[in-house]
């Protein structure tokens, strides 16, 4: 049900001809109100795509009437002309939908450094607007795919209200958000400040802790739109948890469909002196290419975990570190632990536990293995 699971939203997903393949590449999500509250979280990359610069500005107003999303081109590193393209996209949607351009968010994904074919984008917006429906959430989710092999949607229900969402992202997945576009919608009656709090809390422990390949995108966008159509004001904690559940579900789907990956790696850092330490150590492990190759080879190479921990500034004593792979404590007190032959790594899911033996903070980071398929896919992406 995707972005149309909540009442008060329509969507469309169509082929505008942005992609040479003719696959769907333009999506529209429209909030029919009565509320138009919205919050957004964007990439931490200092090189930001034109749609990110635009939408960040839109979100400052806390109101979003519609979101235009396209795959087939990131509109990043395209200069002032690229920003004009985003502006024209928002103006076009505003005109067709009868809303203000300042309430139209735009999100793009695809190759960096290439202008969008604006004639096709603008014609596509007209076509999409004509197909808007409360039943087209799946179509919208399909239209934002790039190298994704499947489209990603999730839904959580509260008492009388719903949170739904869609996501795309398969590569350039790293802290500070992934190369991902995410639109979440709810019919709960929540104002922009309430959405902002719930969204920031949710992304901090979900999308921000997905690190598929260590590469941070120029285009990451996560939007949460509320229509208030249910007429129900949810309790704050319950709403925040529903948003977190949907984000976590989508984040896991991103990892599960990452480019070329054969393993999903769940890295849990425990007994850290602080959550910051736990996250730093988890990310260092997540980004270690040698370890990622070892996991691909189903090799419980805990030495590479220790060498990754050793590059961090977290509090730990090298002689008190413990590491488990799939619950076998192959490293104890910084040295050889239980028999590594006991580790069964045949499943797609591989769990690494790093015990820093310093405090009681913890964090979970999700990563993928490094494979020849990843290399192949990304050495051929733009050609």
Sole binder of its own copies in the list 150, 336, 342, 349 (CB under 8 A): 336
Q: Is 310 in the site for its own copies (CB under 8 A)?
A: yes
* Interface stretch with its own copies, choices 107-115, 232-240, 243-251, 343-351 (CB under 8 A): 107-115
Contact present, 114 and 78 (Cβ < 8 Å)? yes
**212 known ligand binder:** no
For residue 297, give every residue at least 6 positions away whose Cβ sits within 8 Å of its Cβ, in sequence order, or none: none
Sole binder of its own copies in the list 16, 74, 141, 328 (CB under 8 A): 74
Q: Is 172 in the site for its own copies (CB under 8 A)?
A: yes
Site for its own copies in 253-292 (CB under 8 A): 287-290
Contact present, 302 and 330 (Cβ < 8 Å)? yes
β strands within 98-161, DSSP E: 104-108, 152-157
Catalytic residue among 109, 147, 162, 179: 179
Q: Kind of pairing, strands 66-70 and 104-108?
A: parallel
Cβ atoms < 10 Å from Cβ of 329: 15
Sole binder of its own copies in the list 77, 123, 357, 361 (CB under 8 A): 77
Q: Is 342 in the site for its own copies (CB under 8 A)?
A: no
For residue 103, give every residue at least 6 positions away whose Cβ sits within 8 Å of its Cβ, in sequence order, or none: 36, 58, 61, 63, 64, 65, 66, 94
Nearest-5° angle of CA 249, CA 255, CA 258? 140
Distance in Å, CB of 78 to its own copies, minimum:
6
Distance in Å, CB of 343 to its own copies, minimum:
12
179 in catalytic set = yes
Q: Is 79 in the site for its own copies (CB under 8 A)?
A: yes
Sole binder of its own copies in the list 29, 296, 355, 363 (CB under 8 A): 296
Nearer to its own copies, 132 or 281 (CB): 281
Nearer to its own copies, 35 or 296 (CB): 296
- Torsion over CA of 352, 211, 260 and 265, rounded to 10 degrees? 10
Distance in Å, CB of 213 to its own copies, minimum:
5
* Interface stretch with its own copies, choices 56-64, 128-136, 213-221, 249-257 (CB under 8 A): 213-221
CA nearest 166: which of 147, 177, 180? 180
CA Rg, the chain, in Å?
A: 21
β strands within the chain, DSSP E: 9-14, 26-31, 37-42, 66-70, 104-108, 152-157, 162-168, 181-186, 210-211, 221-226, 264-272, 322-325, 328-332, 335-336, 349-355, 361-368
Residue list for the binding site for substrate: 146, 168, 179, 259, 378, 383
Positions marked catalytic: 179
Q: Which residues bind its own copies (CB under 8 A)?
A: 44-48, 74, 76-79, 81-82, 111-115, 171-172, 176, 213-218, 287-290, 293-294, 296-297, 299, 301-304, 306-312, 316, 318-319, 321, 331, 333-336, 370-372, 374-383
């Amino acid at each position: 049900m995707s972005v149309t699971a909540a009442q008060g939203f329509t969507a469309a997903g169509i082929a505008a001809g942005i992609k040479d393949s003719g696959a769907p590449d333009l999506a529209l999500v429209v909030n029919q109100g009565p509320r138009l509250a919205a919050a957004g979280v964007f990439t931490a990359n200092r090189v930001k795509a034109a749609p990110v610069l635009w939408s960040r500005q839109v979100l400052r107003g806390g109101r979003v009437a519609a979101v235009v999303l396209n795959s087939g081109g990131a509109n990043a590193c395209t200069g002032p002309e690229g920003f004009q393209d985003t502006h024209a996209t928002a103006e076009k949607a505003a005109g067709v939908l009868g809303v203000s351009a300042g309430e139209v968010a735009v999100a793009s994904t695809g190759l960096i450094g290439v202008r969008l074919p604006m004639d096709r984008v603008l014609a596509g917006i007209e076509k999409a607007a004509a197909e808007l429906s409360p039943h087209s959430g799946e179509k919208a989710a399909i239209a934002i795919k790039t190298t994704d092999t499947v489209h990603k949607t999730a839904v959580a229900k509260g008492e009388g209200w719903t949170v739904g969402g869609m996501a795309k992202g398969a590569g350039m997945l790293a802290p500070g958000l992934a190369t991902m576009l995410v639109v979440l919608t709810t019919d709960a009656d929540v104002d922009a400040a309430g959405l902002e709090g719930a969204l920031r809390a949710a992304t901090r422990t979900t999308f921000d802790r997905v690190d598929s390949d260590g590469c941070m995108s120029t285009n990451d966008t996560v939007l949460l739109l509320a229509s208030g159509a249910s007429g129900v004001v949810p309790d704050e904690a319950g709403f925040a948890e529903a948003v977190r559940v949907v984000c976590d579900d989508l984040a896991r789907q991103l990892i599960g469909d990452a480019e070329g990956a054969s393993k999903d790696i769940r890295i849990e850092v425990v007994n850290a002196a602080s959550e910051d330490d736990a996250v730093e150590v988890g990310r260092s492990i997540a980004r270690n290419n040698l370890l990622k190759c070892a996991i691909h080879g189903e090799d419980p190479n805990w030495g590479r975990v220790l060498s990754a921990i050793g590059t961090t500034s977290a509090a730990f004593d090298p002689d008190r570190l413990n590491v488990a792979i799939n619950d076998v404590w192959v490293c104890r007190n910084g040295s050889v632990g239980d028999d590594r032959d006991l580790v069964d790594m045949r499943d797609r899911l591989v769990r690494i536990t790093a015990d820093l033996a310093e405090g009681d903070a913890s964090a979970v980071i999700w990563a993928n293995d490094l494979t020849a398929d990843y290399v192949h896919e990304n050495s051929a992406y733009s050609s």
